[in-house]
Amino acid sequence: MHHDLAKLSYRQKEIVRLLADNWSVEAIARRLSLSNRTIRGHQQLTISLLELEDETALIELAKSVYL
The 10s digit of each residue's pLDDT in 2-49 is: 577 888 999 999 999 999 999 999 999 999 999 999 999 999 999 999
Q: Quickly state the pLDDT bin for 1 (edges 50, 70, 90).
A: very low
pLDDT score recorded for residue 27: 98
H or E segment and range at residue 62? helix 55-66
Q: Measured between alpha carbons, how far is 39 from 46 in angstroms, rounded to an integer?
A: 11
| Euclidean distance between the first and the last CA atom of the chain, given in angstroms as a whole number | 20
H or E segment and range at residue 10? helix 10-20
What would the pLDDT profile of 53-64 be if each residue is shown by its tens digit? 999 999 999 888
CATH of domain 5-66: 1.10.10.10
Residue 51 DSSP one-character state: T
Measured in degrees and rounded to the nearest 5, phi and psi for residue 61 equal -65, -45
Q: So where are the chain's domains?
A: 5-66
Q: Measured between alpha carbons, how far is 23 from 49 in angstroms, rounded to an integer?
A: 21
